[in-house]
Amino acid sequence: MTRDIVSGGQHIHAPDDLTRLLQDIYEQAMTIKTGKVADYIPALAAVDPEQCALTLATLDGETFTVGDTQTQFSIQSVSKIFGLMLAMERLGDELWDRVKMEPSGQAFNSIVQLEWEKGIPRNPMINAGAILISDVLVSHYSASKNAVLSLVRSLCGNEAVYADHEVHESEKDHGHRNAALAHLMKSFGNIDSDVEELLDHYFWQCALSMSCENLARSFTFLANDGVCPFSKKQIMSKRDSQRINALLSTSGMYDQSGEFAFTVGVPAKSGVGGGIVAVVPDFGVISAWSPRLNEFGNSARGMFMVREVANKLGLSVY
């Protein structure tokens, strides 16, 4: 482990101690039965709600896992980070003329603010912002889906990552609100590409399917100033990785971001598939998955598990 951890007054040195801690937290999480599986996308409603996984990937290459950590699930909005990474690389600072970096204080799929603010989304983590990012990708890559897929596969070291066809189609069939967001931005001149094409990219990206363990490994570079601790490759500049962490801190957990900062204290992102990734700078990544969601669209068990790991290990950055 790269840093000395104190939990409940006791130093945690051995990997076994951490495994036991995760196991305890997981068992407590399994008693939580509150929340509801996302049902506005029929393919997500069909998922077994009892599934649950918790992973901690540290920067020195150790991975601690409990539960269904190999099961692939729909990462949904967690994928917004991958899209953002590519758009930041392609557009540089110009990107920030088209999407801002402020918390929205609204639900992730809200439409009202976008009209008041003339088609410029508040941040890349709400749907409007991620749809704008999809426009950038579709406009700047000849094969935008392949660009995302090869990024994700290289980050987690798993060639088996794929986008779930059924979820993709299901999102397309029920994506009227997202289509409304895209058309509204187009009416303000903030969308370049064809709306159908960019929505197809957006829905496909949301349908990416990954395991809890893959997710934790993928984002370790954000805890390590942009360098992947496994391949030692510089994935993005230190400045850009700090900027992504800043966005995750203020907007990654939607309208629960403030509470998350208050009670957990690390940059994080959730998705309506029930996944959460939390970046602990200079330490590693905690990822959690369980499909039942609280009223903000964040996994009920996932919130509990990430909070407990962070609190027990004293990981808040504040």
Is 214 a known ligand-binding residue?
no
Classify residue 72 by burial, with Cβ atoms within 10 Å: 0-12, 13-18, 19+: middle
Q: Check residue 271 for interaction with ligand DON (CB under 6 A).
A: yes
Which C-beta is closer to ligand DON: that of 44 or that of 266?
44
**Closest approach of ligand DON to the CB of residue 34, in Å:** 17
Q: Which two tokens stand for residue 139?
A: 């406009």
Is 197 a known ligand-binding residue?
no
Helix (H) or strand (E) segment spanning residue 305? helix 300-312
Count residues near ligand DON (CB under 6 A).
13
Q: Which of 235, 226, 255, 289 is nearest to 78 (CA)?
A: 289
Rg (Cα) of the chain, in Å, rounded?
18
The identity of residue 90, as a single letter, is: R
Residues 216-255 that bind ligand DON (CB under 6 A): 254
202 catalytically annotated: yes
40 catalytically annotated: no
Q: Which two tokens stand for residue 25?
A: 């937290």
What is residue 222's DSSP assignment? Answer: G
110 catalytically annotated: no
Which C-beta is closer to ligand DON: that of 127 or that of 224?
127
Residues 74-93 that bind ligand DON (CB under 6 A): 76-77
Residues 115-174 that bind ligand DON (CB under 6 A): 127, 171
Is 254 a known ligand-binding residue?
yes
Which C-beta is closer to ligand DON: that of 204 or that of 283?
204
- Side-chain half-sphere CA neighbours of 19 within 13 A: 7
Q: Which two tokens stand for residue 56?
A: 């901690």
Q: Check residue 270 for interaction with ligand DON (CB under 6 A).
A: yes
Residue pair 162/209 in contact (Cβ under 8 Å)? The answer is: yes
Which C-beta is closer to ligand DON: that of 110 or that of 224?
110
In the list 29, 206, 223, 310, the residue contacting ligand DON (rule: CB under 6 A) is 206
Q: Cβ–Cβ contacts within 10 Å for residue 60, how many?
A: 11
* Catalytic residue ranges: 77, 80, 202, 254, 272
Can you give the binding site for ligand DON, defined by CB under 6 A?
76-77, 108-109, 127, 171, 178, 206, 254, 270-272, 297
